Structure 1
Amino acid sequence: MNNQFFSKKQSVHAKNGVVATSEGLAAQAGLEILKKGGNAIDAAVATAACLTVVEPTSNGIGSDCFAIVYFKDKLYGLNSSGYSSRNISIKKVKERGFDKIPATGIVPITVPGTPKGWASLIEKFGNLSLIEVLTPAIKLAEEGFIISETVGYYFERAIKAYKQRNKGEMFDHFFKVFTKNGESYKAGDLFKSQWHADTLRKIGETNSDAFYKGELSDKIVSFMEKYNGFIDKSDLEEYQNEFVEPISINYKGFDICEIPPNGQGITALMALNLLKEEDFTIKNSETYHKQIEALKIAFSDTLTYVTDPLFMKMNPNYLLSEKYIKLRKKDITDKALNQNPIDYKKSGTVYLATADSEGNMVSFIQSNYMGFGSGIVIDDTGISIQNRGHTFSLDENHHNKLEPRKRTYHTIIPGFIMKDKKAYGPFGVMGGFMQPQGHLQVVMNLFDFNMNPQEALDAPRFRWDKALNVAVENSFDQEIIKDLEEKGHIINLEPRNSGFGRGQIIFKQKEGYIAGTETRCDGHIAYY
Structure 2
Amino acid sequence: MFDDLDYSQPYASARSPVMGNNMVACSQPLAAQAGLDMLRRGGNAVDAAIAAAMVLTVVEPTGCGIGSDAFAIVWDGKKLQGLNASGRAPQAWTPEHFAGQSEMPQRGWGSVTVPGAVSAWVALSERYGKLPFATLAGPAIGYARNGYQVTPIIAELWRRGGALLKDQPGFANCFLPDGKAPAAGEKITLKDHANTLELIAETKGESFYRGELAQAIVAHANANGSVMSLDDLANHRVDWIDTISVPYAGAVVHELPPNGQGIATLAGLTMLEALGVGEHPVDSVETVHPVLEAMKLALADLNHHVADFDHMRVASEHLLDPAYLMERASRVTEQAADPQHGSPKAGGTVYLSAADESGMMVSFIQSNYMGFGSGVVVPGTGISLQNRGAGFSLDPEHVNVVAPGKRPFHTIIPGFVMNADGTPLMSFGLMGGPMQAQGHLQMMMRILRYKQNPQAAADAPRWRIEAGLKVAVERSFDRLVVEELRAKGHEVDIEDPSGVFAFGGAQIIQRTTHGYVGGTDPRKDGLVAAY
Q: Same fold (TM over 0.5)?
A: yes
Paired AA for residue 352 in structure 2: L
Residue 315 of structure 2 corresponds to 315
Paired AA for residue 114 in structure 1: A
Do the aligned residues in 2 keep the contact of 1:11 with 1:452 (CA within 8 Å)? no
Measure how far apart 1:172 and its partner are.
4.0
Paired AA for residue 405 in structure 1: G
SS in 1 for 2:56: helix
More displaced, 273-282 or 386-395?
A: 273-282
Do the aligned residues in 2 keep the contact of 1:13 with 1:512 (CA within 8 Å)? no
Paired AA for residue 248 in structure 2: Y
CA distance in 2, matches of 1:367, 1:347: 32
Deviation per residue, 1:165-208 (Å, 9 max, x gap): xx4xxx24210000023212221111111110011111111111
Residue 475 of structure 1 corresponds to 476
Measure how far apart 1:3 and its partner are.
6.8
Paired AA for residue 443 in structure 1: M
1:27 matches 2:24: no
Calculate the aligned-residue CA RMSD, in Å.
Answer: 1.4
Residue 435 of structure 1 corresponds to 436
Do the aligned residues in 2 keep the contact of 1:427 with 1:504 (CA within 8 Å)? yes
Deviation per residue, 1:49-102 (Å, 9 max, x gap): 0000000000000000000001122111000000000111121112xx521111
Residue 422 of structure 1 corresponds to 423
1:162-177 to 2 correspondence within 5 Å? 162-163=165-166, 167=167, 171-177=168-174
1:78 matches 2:83: yes
SS in 1 for 2:481: helix
Paired AA for residue 323 in structure 2: K
CA distance in 1, matches of 2:163, 2:380: 23
Residue 256 of structure 2 corresponds to 259
Deviation per residue, 1:231-279 (Å, 9 max, x gap): 1011111110111001110101111011111111001000001011414
1:128 matches 2:131: yes
Residue 186 of structure 1 corresponds to 183
Aligned residues: 519
Measure how far apart 1:14 and its partner are.
3.5
Paired AA for residue 272 in structure 2: L
SS in 2 for 1:98: coil
SS in 1 for 2:494: strand
Do the aligned residues in 2 keep the contact of 1:109 with 1:387 (CA within 8 Å)? yes
Deviation per residue, 1:122-154 (Å, 9 max, x gap): 000000121110110000000000000010010
Residue 199 of structure 1 corresponds to 196
1:88-487 to 2 correspondence within 5 Å? 88-94=93-99, 97-163=100-166, 167=167, 171-277=168-274, 278-280=276-278, 281-282=280-281, 283-344=283-344, 349-419=349-419, 420-487=421-488
Residue 49 of structure 1 corresponds to 54
Measure how far apart 1:227 and its partner are.
1.3
Measure how far apart 1:46 and its partner are.
0.2
Measure how far apart 1:361 and its partner are.
0.7
SS in 2 for 1:181: helix
Corresponding residue to 1:512 among 503, 512, 515: 515
Paired AA for residue 225 in structure 2: N
Do the aligned residues in 2 keep the contact of 1:352 with 1:363 (CA within 8 Å)? yes
Residue 504 of structure 2 corresponds to 501
CA distance in 1, matches of 2:382, 2:519: 32
Paired AA for residue 191 in structure 1: I
Do the aligned residues in 2 keep the contact of 1:9 with 1:454 (CA within 8 Å)? no
CA distance in 1, matches of 2:326, 2:48: 43
Unaligned runs of 5+ in 2: 1-5
CA distance in 2, matches of 1:223, 1:102: 18
Do the aligned residues in 2 keep the contact of 1:82 with 1:407 (CA within 8 Å)? yes
Do the aligned residues in 1 keep the contact of 2:169 with 2:375 (CA within 8 Å)? no
Residue 3 of structure 2 corresponds to none
Measure how far apart 1:383 and its partner are.
0.3
Paired AA for residue 54 in structure 1: V
Unaligned runs of 5+ in 1: none
Do the aligned residues in 2 keep the contact of 1:70 with 1:423 (CA within 8 Å)? yes
Do the aligned residues in 1 keep the contact of 2:148 with 2:187 (CA within 8 Å)? yes
Measure how far apart 1:2 and its partner are.
7.0
CA distance in 1, matches of 2:162, 2:255: 34
Do the aligned residues in 2 keep the contact of 1:69 with 1:363 (CA within 8 Å)? yes
More displaced, 335-344 or 261-270?
A: 335-344
CA distance in 1, matches of 2:188, 2:98: 37
Paired AA for residue 26 in structure 2: T
SS in 2 for 1:82: coil
SS in 1 for 2:107: coil
Runs of 4+ in 1 over 6 A off after TM superposition: none
Paired AA for residue 445 in structure 2: M
Paired AA for residue 437 in structure 1: Q
Paired AA for residue 180 in structure 2: E
CA distance in 1, matches of 2:247, 2:362: 20
SS in 2 for 1:484: helix
TM-score by length of 2: 0.96
Measure how far apart 1:286 and its partner are.
2.1
Paired AA for residue 233 in structure 2: L
Do the aligned residues in 2 keep the contact of 1:93 with 1:107 (CA within 8 Å)? no
Measure how far apart 1:294 and its partner are.
0.9
CA distance in 1, matches of 2:171, 2:144: 16
SS in 2 for 1:276: helix
Measure how far apart 1:316 and its partner are.
1.1
More displaced, 272-281 or 124-133?
A: 272-281
